[in-house]
């Protein structure tokens, strides 16, 4: 299936959870999809129909696993595809974050969660996973922070909404498309 393809990454952010709906941080907390999140996951089926991938993976957190099950089917999981570990900030509303945490997350630079993970640590684990992927097309059911991190390497670090598909050519570091 790889053919002429270098390393194409299809990334989908899991469906809606109560945490992202309510503006709260959900890193490694294992929160579940809402009914809307399940609908977003099911809506992936027709968008993926006819697509072929060399590998399909999901984060081991239930919101990404469930999105994969509903949108594609059962897939292997890997902890390296998890969201950033927000440590003491897990579950806090965005509005209640200290200004320095908000600023670092918005700039996507210099963030380090107290008793959690830094962006540098997130990058190391995610790139460790991506670097192990062979050439070809890969579909990854993951989280907003992981997608932002990979897009940041392309010079773009926008937030992506739940259920959004982002496609990048990892070899050329090019955004191919993004669709909600």
| Residues with active-site annotation | 14, 83
CA-wise closest residue to 47 among 66, 29, 70, 28: 70
For strand 165-169 and strand 7-13, is the pairing parallel, antiparallel, or unpaired? antiparallel
CA-wise closest residue to 159 among 144, 139, 180: 144
**16 within 8 A of 39, measured Cβ to Cβ:** no
CA-wise closest residue to 123 among 131, 134, 133, 115: 131
- Report d(CA 146, CA 168) in Å as an integer: 13
- Report d(CA 43, CA 119) in Å as an integer: 31
CA-wise closest residue to 31 among 72, 82, 71: 82
- Report d(CA 150, CA 126) in Å as an integer: 8
Token digits of residue 66: 């469930």
């Amino acid at each position: 299936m790889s053919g002429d393809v270098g390393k194409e990454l299809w990334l989908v952010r899991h469906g809606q959870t109560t945490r992202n709906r309510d503006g709260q941080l959900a890193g490694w907390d294992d929160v579940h999809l809402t009914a809307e999140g399940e609908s977003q996951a099911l809506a992936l089926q027709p968008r993926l129909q006819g697509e072929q991938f060399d590998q399909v993976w999901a984060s081991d957190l239930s919101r990404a696993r469930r999105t994969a099950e509903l949108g594609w089917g059962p897939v292997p999981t890997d902890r390296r595809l998890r969201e950033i570990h927000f440590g003491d900030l897990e579950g806090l509303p965005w509005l209640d974050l200290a200004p320095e945490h908000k600023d670092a997350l918005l700039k996507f630079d210099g963030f380090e969660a107290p008793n959690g993970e830094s962006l540098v640590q997130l990058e190391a684990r995610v790139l460790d996973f991506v670097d192990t992927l062979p050439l070809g097309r890969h579909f990854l059911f993951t989280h907003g922070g992981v997608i932002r991190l990979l897009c940041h390497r392309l010079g773009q670090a926008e937030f992506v909404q739940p259920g959004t598909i982002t496609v990048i050519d990892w070899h050329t570091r090019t955004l191919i498309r993004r669709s909600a």
